[in-house]
Amino acid sequence: MLVRDAMSTVVLTVGPTHTLRQAAALMSARHVGAAVVLDPDAGGGTGILTERDILNSVGLGQNPDTETVQAHATTTAVVFAAPTWTLREAARAMTHGGFRHLVVLDGGQPVGIVSVRDIIRCWAPAREPEPAL
C-alpha cells in the first residue's frame, strides 16, 4: 500500500505568525495532531507544527497567546514523503526521525499528511466483534 492510499488529503495549514493558541484551536477543531506551516514570504517554504511542539512550549511556561508558530515549527530539515512511497518507507522515515507525521509533497506542493495512526489503520486487521457472554 502507498502513502497516497493512507494519507489525509484535507490538510490544515497555518502561517508563521499564527499564535500557538490559534494553531492549537484550529488543530483541536479539526481533530488533527499536526498542521502544515506555509510561509508565502519565504518563497512558499513548507514546515510542520505538531501537538508536541505546542506541548513543549506550554511545558516551558511560555505563553501560547504570544508565542508564534515560526518560533516552534520545524521548518528546516523537514522530512517529506512522496505519494508513491510505500507505507513501509514512511514508517521507516518516521521511526528513524522520531516523529509521527510526514508532510506529503507532490511537485513541491503539499498534498497531504500521513501519520502513524494512518499507517496503523491500514496495517491493522479490521476490528473483530467481541464474543458474546
pLDDT tier, 43 (very low <50, low <70, confident <90, very high otherwise): low
Copy the grid coordinates of residue 60.
516551558
Q: Lowest mean pLDDT: which of 2-6, 25-29, 66-70, 106-110?
A: 106-110
C-alpha–C-alpha distance, residues 1 and 4, integer Å: 8
pTM: 0.84
- Is residue 109 classed exposed, middle or buried when 0-12, 13-18 and 19+ CB atoms within 10 A define those classes? exposed
